[in-house]
Amino acid sequence: CHRTCRAVCVVTTCLGRGRWVPGRAPYHPEKGQFRPDMSGDGDGKCELFLKYSQVGVCCGFLLNQHYNPAFVSLQMMKHAWDNYKRYAWGLNELKPISKQGHSSNLFGNIQGATIVDALDTLYIMEMKEEFKEAKEWVEKSLDFSVNADVSVFEVNIRFVGGLLSAYYLSGEEVFRKKAVELGEKLLPAFNTPTGIPWALLNIKSGIGRNWPWASGGSSILAEFGTLHLEFVHLSHLSGNPVFAEKVMNIRKVLNRLDKPEGLYPNYLNPSSGQWGQHHVSIGGLGDSFYEYLLKAWLMSDKTDEDAKKMYYDAVQAIETHLIRKSSGGLTYIAEWKGGLLEHKMGHLTCFAGGMFALGADGAPSDKTGHHIELGAEIARTCHESYDRTRMKLGPEAFRFDGGVEAIATRQNEKYYILRPEVIETYMYMWRLTHDPKYREWGWEAVEALEKHCRVDGGYSGIRDVYINHENHDDVQQSFFLSETLKYLYLLFSEDDLLPFEHWVFNTEAHPLPVLHKDDGNKEENQK
């Protein structure tokens, strides 16, 4: 049958019944293939296809089934959520192979990380029933009275961030209340001689400490530097200035310190106020500190000049000392250790492509195009890191030495744990350039996820992306629902869904509104 012919036939049936007809579904989940003529389960909702199809009518999905956000919500998010609900409801994460709950010690005994992390994704994807059940769980069961150490950073970005977004999107008071309650529990972490918070906090006793492995008892840049957006909003929503004061103090401490070559080391001692080991990274341990400088400026409606200056100065130093081009022409961001470069780039570092592009607008006028170009180059390098694997999913870290480019060489760097950063960069690059290759690359990731990570009981990470068979790690990370799937959905949606003029995404992809100065937020922005 001619494609148009089939499309028309499906349109007619689809419009008539309001549902896809079994036998016509274009996607076969088990086989991970896209075949318009293959039988499927036919559970896609017609309205969604009508609403989002690029051609404008239902048949658009068949003729142009790529890049459809409905696929991400109806096939992917639903599968991830339904299985979490079935096998791990109320626990932090799902083990999709063993079909049971998984709890990382990052959250102490706080439970429900997947529920709180997924709230806004469910809302944005219009999964109303699921959002309702998640909200009911938060109302009845989300409990912070635990006697255990939690990671201040992880709890902030996932729980506080998730609750704040859920509140701003839905207006439901319970989320505001819970976010403020949790924010208050985190405040004792700042009781250090400098006010630089501890990494870990017992939220019952209020006693804090640092990771035993962190250079000389230091706090971590990416951890204490990734509280700003949420804490400013906590002050905004509670009327209590203490949250914003705490994070503004971190800024002051950092501004007083000398920086080696203008770079920020990853370790800072909260007692002495001195840098620890001079290790600089735009990936793990450093990453979201830079992200939050830029986003603090954007979230303040571009009034937080301090954050702006810190961001562009930092990018300048990163360009001079860390960014390099391989002989094969790939731009990458190396790690800096006391002046020596390690020519390795982490999957986490790939978020920086989106960051550079997002910040291009505010860069000194002769640099705007350059920052976009830098974002595009990082996106290309990270895409190569995916493309050069068997599974077309990127490794945890890839190297540019020993005769390789954008390839993991060490066994313990070959895994993929459903991380979002590369897709995040595609989403920013798409919105800011509309170059169709970013949607194509995003769709490649969808196909690879469906083929290799989708299992009966949800989605699982992979231990080695360079071999032929899947060795699953049996964890469905909560950030797969909050970030990876949300960024895919946004990548294939119109730009007016959570437009950048009004929203910034926290580092866990939870959207927070820009505090527009015309709306009486002048004070917040200047605190």
| Angle at 137 (CA atoms; ends 131, 142), nearest 5 degrees | 125
Catalytic annotation, pick one of 120, 287, 304, 483: 287
Q: Is 130 labeled as catalytic in the residue annotation?
A: no
- Beta strand pairing call for 397-399 and 344-346: antiparallel
User: Which is nearer to ligand DMJ, 74 or 379 (by Cβ)?
Assistant: 379
Other Cβ atoms less than 10 A from the Cβ of 213: the count is: 6
Helical segments of 156-286, H only: 161-170, 173-186, 221-224, 228-238, 242-256
Closest to ligand DMJ by CB, 36 vs 162, is: 162
CA distance linking residue 284 with residue 266, whole number of Å: 9
Q: Nearer to ligand DMJ by C-beta: 74 or 285?
A: 285
Exposed/middle/buried for residue 365 (C-beta within 10 Å: 0-12, 13-18, 19+): exposed
**Which CB, 50 or 296, lies closer to ligand DMJ?**
296
Residue 507, annotated as binding a ligand: yes
**Residue type at 168 in one-letter notation:** Y
Q: Which is nearer to ligand DMJ, 233 or 367 (CB)?
A: 233
Query: Of 488, 407, 481, which is closest to residue 447 (Cα–Cα)?
Result: 488
Minimum gap (Å) between residue 366 Cβ and ligand DMJ? 31
SS3 504: strand
| Distance from C-alpha of 332 to C-alpha of 512, rounded to nearest angstrom | 30
Q: What is the dihedral of CA 476, 481, 487, 488, to 10 degrees?
A: 70
Q: Least distance from C-beta 65 to ligand DMJ, angstroms?
A: 28
User: Which H or E element spans position 324?
Assistant: strand 323-325
CB 411, min distance to ligand DMJ, A: 20
* CB 492, CB 416: distance < 8 Å: no
* Cβ closest to ligand DMJ, residue 291 vs residue 301: 291
Least spacing, CB of residue 334 vs ligand DMJ, in Å:
19
Comparing CB distances to ligand DMJ, the nearer of 27 and 505 is 505
Min CB(418)–ligand DMJ separation in Å: 8
Q: Is 172 a catalytic residue?
A: no
- Residues 344 and 279: their CA atoms lie apart, in Å, by 13
Catalytic residue among 230, 421, 508, 524: 421
Return residues touching ligand DMJ (CB under 6 A): 288, 348, 419-420, 479, 483, 507-508
Separation of alpha carbons 82 and 358, rounded Å:
34
Alpha carbons 514 and 295: distance in angstroms, whole number: 9
Q: Least distance in Å: CB of 233 to ligand DMJ?
A: 17
Closest residue by beta carbon to ligand DMJ: 507
Instruction: State in angstroms the smallest separation of the CB of 184 from ligand DMJ.
Output: 23
Q: Which of 117, 130, 154, 450 is catalytic?
A: 154
Question: What span, in angstroms and rounded, lies between the C-alpha atoms of 255 and 247?
Answer: 13
Closest Cα partner for 417 from 458, 462, 474?
Answer: 462
Query: Residue 476 in contact with residue 96, Cβ under 8 Å?
Result: yes
Q: Decide whether 308 or 419 has the Cβ nearer to ligand DMJ.
A: 419
CB of 282 to ligand DMJ, least distance (A): 12
Distance CA 513, CA 499 (A): 10
Residue 459's closest CA among 151, 58, 77?
77
Helix (H, G, I), strand (E, B) or coil at 451: helix
Residue 124 one-letter amino acid: I
287 counts as catalytic: yes
DSSP 197: P
Confirm whether 258 is a catalytic residue.
Answer: no
| E-state strands within 334-426 | 335-337, 340-342, 344-346, 397-399
Which residue carries 């341990």 as its tokens? 285
Smallest separation (angstroms) from ligand DMJ to the CB of 236: 22
3-class SS shares of the chain: helix, strand, coil, % to 5: 50, 10, 35
What are the DSSP E strand ranges found in 450-519?
A: 454-455, 458-459, 503-505, 511-513
- 103 or 271: CB nearest ligand DMJ: 103
Q: Which of 304, 396, 508, 524 is catalytic?
A: 396
Please list the active-site residues. 154, 287, 396, 421
In the annotated binding site, the residues are 507
In the annotated binding site for Ca(2+), the residues are 507
